[in-house]
């Protein structure tokens, strides 16, 4: 006989086999996340179950269609005022998950959709895990991306279940995996189609087969004499991407595991460690970025527009990769260029991307079938959005859009991927200039999350809304900006790069400049970044922006472009590259000036202030989001303007004035600083 008990956040159903189905349904939220109130109710439910000898098994599931559990409620970490407050929440979760792990009856996590963070830790506390093998099911422990680490047993139970190397790789990178990959790794017992999911959960509940066990070699990786060797390698790998003074969480995970392994006592130490870093500046800033990302994701949500057909003009690196990404996201795409031979390399790159992303041959072929070469432009009349990605020349873009306007549907969005030309110069030739918007992608398209949605003076809100919705449709983050030269990201980034070039001309070695930026927290130094973007691209943008804002393009950069020394794509730029990889120089005996990093960063901060003054961007939070997701600006610092506020505006202005006298007028403090 079925019985249903409704709690505020949980539904408890008991079926005829005395299996308790515990459905998580957090009140007032579209997705499940774990809050103190959720834990309080779970504690009550588990206590009642433990006192009922008739219960045969417990199956944890989600009542929401959006996924299993997204993790702990991130908002909680913004509200804690002290470590003691944080520890109450952390210890509560630890204690309840220990209780789940200690049940003598079978406990099963039935997973459909995302199973992340605290949700994954709840699943790990269960004896068995079954997961739906659809594309939306993703499992992992991404806490490290928020500047924290698992605190409800993840650092202990995952290495215990699948061995240290694979477990620590997941924890230290924060990456998620599919249900099939999780089953292959060993922390999901069965990955099945949705129609078999409940049957699989019932099988483990009723048959209670032997739980998954690690192999002998996996067990060996958790032994004390092996841990010290592996920990050393792990630290070296982490240090390539994250310095310990800025990102303490991954190092804390390695320390915990190396010293305490997977013994039960390690659980309490894991909780204590999380309490120590949960309120750190890095954690607070990375949580802030999490909410900034959510803000960008919310844009265009209310717009009822979904592109079924995209037409891209220009099959170069940007255009070809934009087309490939749109097809990957399930849209029919036609890709146009002058001749088939110009389209062929883009199709080859797309095939490589699909093999990497999709794995299964049938899915790869389906994506390739959606991407159609179209040298004659037959897709123009069918497209819902047409994206121009030809070379940066005003007359060429005007001629193209004038032609496109005559051939496309009246409802189609006309979009340009220009990186620096103002929209109101391009749209001057159109009968309906309001149709033209900017959708400015960043290279490499498959990796860069941000897309600037650019508004010209006469851009229609209808078409801007459609463009924003399209960016979300292809799983990218839309950033609304005004059509000023360079928009936001290139406008702010270029002074930073040009200051790096000036330092080069002053005789500072490229590796010293890059190291100063990396030490500040940038993911890549500006010289290597320029090589990666392409020196011809940097030169074109710098020259274009120089026409509007003044400032000379560095002589060395211009000469290198004229000599076809263009960076990574030609094998030589400021650095040398072999097979696409940077050839490292020998260490230099050079004593850098302490001003190097400040000179580059202050140019960026000053330009950010100017963009706020000119209302290129609506507010400082959006500016910070744009620079973090568009350039990788040191995430742990929270964005340029947040960093400036943290350093105190008066100190920033004083330093700018000092540099203005020392290095030139380009450091003159922008008038906006007085209003901040």
Q: Residue 368 CB: number of other CB atoms within 10 A? A: 17
CB-CB contact of 424 with 348 (8 Å)? no
Candidates 41, 132, 143, 258; catalytic one: 143
DSSP for 48-86 reads: HHHT-TT--EEEEEESSSSEEE--B-THHHHH--SHHHH
**d(Cα 583, Cα 572) in Å, to the nearest integer?**
10
**d(Cα 263, Cα 235) in Å, to the nearest integer?**
22
CB-CB contact of 163 with 218 (8 Å)? yes
CB-CB contact of 336 with 375 (8 Å)? yes
Candidates 43, 47, 84, 121; catalytic one: 121
Q: Is 379 exposed, middle or buried (0-12, 13-18, 19+ CB in 10 A)?
A: buried
Phi-psi region of 359 (alpha: psi -120 to 50; beta: other; left: phi over 0): left
Is 505 catalytic? The answer is no
**d(Cα 462, Cα 465) in Å, to the nearest integer?**
5
Q: Residue 594 CB: number of other CB atoms within 10 A? A: 7
Q: Residue 296 CB: number of other CB atoms within 10 A? A: 23
For residue 649, give both structure tokens. 């505006």
User: What are the phi and psi torsion angles at 32 (to 5°)?
Assistant: -85, 125
Cβ-proximal residues to 642 (8 Å cutoff; 6+ apart), any chain: 285, 288, 620, 624
From residue 259, give the alpha-carbon distance in Å to each of 149, 226, 244, 250: 16, 11, 18, 14
DSSP 524: S
Is 143 catalytic? The answer is yes
Helix (H, G, I), strand (E, B) or coil at 115: strand
Question: Residue 372: beta bridge partners?
Answer: 334
CA angle 594, 596, 599 (to 5 degrees): 115
For residue 661, give both structure tokens. 């006298």
Q: What residues are annotated to the active site?
A: 121, 143
């Amino acid at each position: 006989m079925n019985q249903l008990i409704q709690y505020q956040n949980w539904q408890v159903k008991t079926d005829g086999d005395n299996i308790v189905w515990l459905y998580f349904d957090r009140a007032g939220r579209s997705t499940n996340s774990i809050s103190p109130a959720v834990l309080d109710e779970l504690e009550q439910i588990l206590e009642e179950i433990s006192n009922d000898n008739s219960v045969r098994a417990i199956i944890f599931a989600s009542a929401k269609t959006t996924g299993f559990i997204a993790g702990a409620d991130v908002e909680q970490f913004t509200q804690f005022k002290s470590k003691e407050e944080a520890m109450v929440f952390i210890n509560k979760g630890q204690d309840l998950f220990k209780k789940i792990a200690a049940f003598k009856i079978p406990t099963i996590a039935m997973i459909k959709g995302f199973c992340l963070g605290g949700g994954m830790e709840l699943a790990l506390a269960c004896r068995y895990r079954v997961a739906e093998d659809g594309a939306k099911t993703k499992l992992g422990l991404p806490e490290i991306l928020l500047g924290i680490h698992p605190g409800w047993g993840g650092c202990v139970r995952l290495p215990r279940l699948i061995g240290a190397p694979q477990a620590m790789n997941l924890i230290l990178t924060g990456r998620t995996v599919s249900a099939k990959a999780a089953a292959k790794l060993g922390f999901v017992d069965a990955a099945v189609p949705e129609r078999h999911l409940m049957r699989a959960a019932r099988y483990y509940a009723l048959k209670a087969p032997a739980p998954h066990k690690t192999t002998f070699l996996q067990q060996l990786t958790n032994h004390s004499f092996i841990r010290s060797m592996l920990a050393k390698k792990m630290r070296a790998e982490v240090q390539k991407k994250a310095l310990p003074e800025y990102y303490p969480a991954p190092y804390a995970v390695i320390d915990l595991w190396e010293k305490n392994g997977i013994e039960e006592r390690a659980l309490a130490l894991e909780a204590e460690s999380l309490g120590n870093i949960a309120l750190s500046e890095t954690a607070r800033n990375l949580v802030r970025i999490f909410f900034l990302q959510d803000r960008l994701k919310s844009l265009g949500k209310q717009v009822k527009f979904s592109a079924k057909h995209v037409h891209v003009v220009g099959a170069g690196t940007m255009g070809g990769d934009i087309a490939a990404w749109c097809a990957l996201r399930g849209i029919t795409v036609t890709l146009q260029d002058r001749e088939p031979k110009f389209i062929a390399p883009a199709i080859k790159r797309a095939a490589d991307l699909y093999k990497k992303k999709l794995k299964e041959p049938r899915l790869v072929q389906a994506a390739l079938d959606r991407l159609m070469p179209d040298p004659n432009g037959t897709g123009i009349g069918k497209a819902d959005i047409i994206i121009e990605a030809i070379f940066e020349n005003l007359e060429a873009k005007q001629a193209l859009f004038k032609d496109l306007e005559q051939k496309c549907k009246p409802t189609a969005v006309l979009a340009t991927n220009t990186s620096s030309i103002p929209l109101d110069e391009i749209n001057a030739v159109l009968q309906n200039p309001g149709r033209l918007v900017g959708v400015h992608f960043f290279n490499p398209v498959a990796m860069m999350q941000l897309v600037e949605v650019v508004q010209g003076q006469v851009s229609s809100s209808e078409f801007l809304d459609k463009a924003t919705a399209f960016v979300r449709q292809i799983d990218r983050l839309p950033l609304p900006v005004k059509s000023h030269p360079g928009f936001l990201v290139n406008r702010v980034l270029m002074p930073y790069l040009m200051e790096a070039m000036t330092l080069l001309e002053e005789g500072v070695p490229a590796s010293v400049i890059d190291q100063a930026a990396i030490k500040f927290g940038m993911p890549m130094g500006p010289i290597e970044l320029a090589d990666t973007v392409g020196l011809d691209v940097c030169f074109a943008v710098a020259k274009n922006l120089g026409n509007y804002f003044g400032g000379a393009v560095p002589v060395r950069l211009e000469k290198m472009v004229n000599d076809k020394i263009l960076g990574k794509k030609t094998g030589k730029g400021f650095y040398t590259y072999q097979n696409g990889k940077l050839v490292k120089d020998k260490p230099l005996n050079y004593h850098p000036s302490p001003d190097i990093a400040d000179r580059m960063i202050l140019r960026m901060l000053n330009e950010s202030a100017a963009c706020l003054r000119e209302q290129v961007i609506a507010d400082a939070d959006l500016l910070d989001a744009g620079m973090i997701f568009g350039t990788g600006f040191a995430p742990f610092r929270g964005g340029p303007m947040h960093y400036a506020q943290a350093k105190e505006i008066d100190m920033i202005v004083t330093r700018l004035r000092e540099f203005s006298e020392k290095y030139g007028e380009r450091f003159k403090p922008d008038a906006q600083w007085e209003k901040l």
